[in-house]
Structure 1
Amino acid sequence: MTALEALRKGPERASTERPRRWGLTSVPIPSRRMGSVPFVLVLGVFLAVGMVGLLLLNTALQEQGFAVQNRQKEAAQLGYRVAELQSQVTEARSSTRLAVEATKLGMVPNPYPVYLTLPNGQVVGNPTSISGYEIPDVRYRTPDELAALAQKAADAEAKRIADLAAKAKAAKEAKAKAAEEKKKAEAEAKAKAKAKADAKKAAEEAAKKKTGKKNGTDR
């Protein structure tokens, strides 16, 4: 039995009431205003976490950049140190350095060298004793000797400059003394000339007075 059949059974009720019309009706949508608040909170949390992550990543990158710069500086310094050591090794292997070290040990150049063949130990040449002055132009000096020579040359140069300064000062003083003596002599000559002129003038005046007196007596 359906709802339509139940309505058809009562003729008195169907005559007094309107027949009900069946169809689609609008259903109110329940409000979800409270559901947007958690979404905004979650979105804010995600944004904050992203900002913190970016800040941490930037800080880590900067620290790595500073570390790379420090390593590069250390590598450059080590490269300079290696170059310096290589230069020292090359200098130590040079013939000049070997000659200097031999001079430190008391060895001198030998113009009559002999050669030793290995492994039999045979000597090629005639061993000759030397006095050490056979080659006077060849002298390898030690760093101390070179420093002493440089200091000696510097002292000689300083002495030469001091002597030149002393000579210049003496010449200046002699010139000033000569100028002063010349000035003094000129003053003395002027004084003598003036005294002589004054004496001559006085003599002339005395002669005039004497002549005047004589003329007056004659009259």
Structure 2
Amino acid sequence: MNSPALRSRSIGRGIAEAAVERARLTVVPRRRTRAARMPFVMLVSLVLLGGVIGLLLFNTSMQQASFAATALEEQANTLTAREQTLQMELEVLRDPQRVAEHAQSLGMVPAANPVFLRLSDGKVLGERIAATPANGLRVRPLPPAKPAVLTPAPIVHKVVADSRRASDETAGSPGRNVANASGEHGRR
């Protein structure tokens, strides 16, 4: 009755009809999904806030470094000035004139006649003379003598006082003019 070809056709039609039935698609209204805005806004806000805080911290550290550099420059200037002061004090202390004066104040005198020792044979060369304050050197030179032209004799002038005028000045009231007391000028 049914032949195998018919059967296969009917099977094929059943499958085709089922496929067509499944293939009928209907348009479904699109679901509007909004991306969550809150996490994005929070992320952007945190990035901006982190940038501003980072900038403030960087600025603060730069200012602190500037203050430290200024303090170190001031300290270097102070130390340079102190070094110059100490160098000048050292130069004063090393001054040969000062050293010689200090040695004399301690009772030291320079050797009058130096004696040398020859190392090859141990012979003493020169005559030994004891150093005494009498044969010492003058540390400070004598001041130069002034010429007579610069030191003239003082000139003395004798002034004879008028006895009448002197008695009027002493007898007058305080605050009176000397010319008025002697009567040289008229009254006012």
Confirm or deny: 8 A CA contact 2:112 2:131 kept in the other structure: no
Q: Distance in 2 between matches of 1:7 and 1:60?
A: 74
- Identity value in percent: 25
CA distance in structure 2 between the aligned counterparts of 1:36 and 1:177, rounded to whole angstroms: 114
Does the residue aligned with 1:30 lie in a helix, a strand or coil?
coil
1: distance between equivalents of 2:49 and 2:39?
A: 15
Q: Distance in 1 between matches of 2:101 and 2:136?
A: 18
Query: How many residue pairs are counted as aligned between the two chains?
Result: 140
Aligned to 2:148: none
CA shift, 1:68, in A, is 1.5
Larger radius of gyration: 1
Q: Secondary structure at the match of 1:115?
A: coil
Partner of 1:180: 178
Change (3 A) 1:28 1:78: same
Instruction: Give structure 2 stretches of 5+ with no counterpart.
Output: 1-11, 142-165, 171-176
Q: Distance in 1 between matches of 2:19 and 2:184?
A: 168
1:104 to 1:50, Cα distance in 2 relative to 1, 3 A: same
Letter in structure 2 aligned against 1:127: I
RMSD over equivalenced CA pairs, Å:
4.4
Shift of residue 63, structure 1, vs aligned partner: 1.0
Contact 1:114–1:127 (CA<8 Å) still a contact in 2? Answer: yes
**2:81, 2:129 → 1: CA distance?**
47
TM-score w.r.t. the length of structure 1 is: 0.46
1:31 aligns with 2:33: yes
- C-alpha distance in 1 between matches for 2:182 and 2:19: 166
Counterpart of 1:30, as a letter, is R
Paired residues of 2:169 and 2:178 also in contact (CA < 8 A)? yes
Asked whether the equivalents of residues 115 and 123 of structure 1 are also in contact (C-alpha less than 8 Å), the reply is no
User: For the structure 1 residues 88 and 123, does the alpha-carbon distance in structure 2 shift closer, same or farther, using more than 3 Å as the test?
Assistant: farther
Gaps of 5+ in 1: 9-18, 141-173, 191-219
